[in-house]
Amino acid sequence: MQRLRLKADGRIVELRDGQEFPLAPALVEMTAAPAPCETAPPPAVRDLRRRAQLTQLEFAARLGVPVETIRNWEQGKRVPRGPARALLAVIAHSPETVFAALAPEQAPA
Query: What is the domain range of residue 71?
Result: 45-102
Cα-flanking dihedrals φ and ψ of residue 43, to 5°?
-60, 150
Quick check: 78 pLDDT over 60? yes
In a domain, 18, yes or no: yes
Q: Are residues 25 and 72 in the same domain?
A: no
Same domain for 97 and 63: yes
pTM: 0.59
How far apart, in whole angstroms, are the C-alpha atoms of residue 93 and residue 99? 12
Let me know whether 56 and 12 are in one domain.
no
Say how many domains are in the chain.
Answer: 2
User: pLDDT of 39-58, one tens digit each?
Assistant: 556 569 999 999 999 999 99
Q: Do 57 and 92 share a structural domain? A: yes
Question: What CATH number is attached to the domain comprising 76?
Answer: 1.10.260.40
Confidence bin at 36 (pLDDT 50/70/90): low
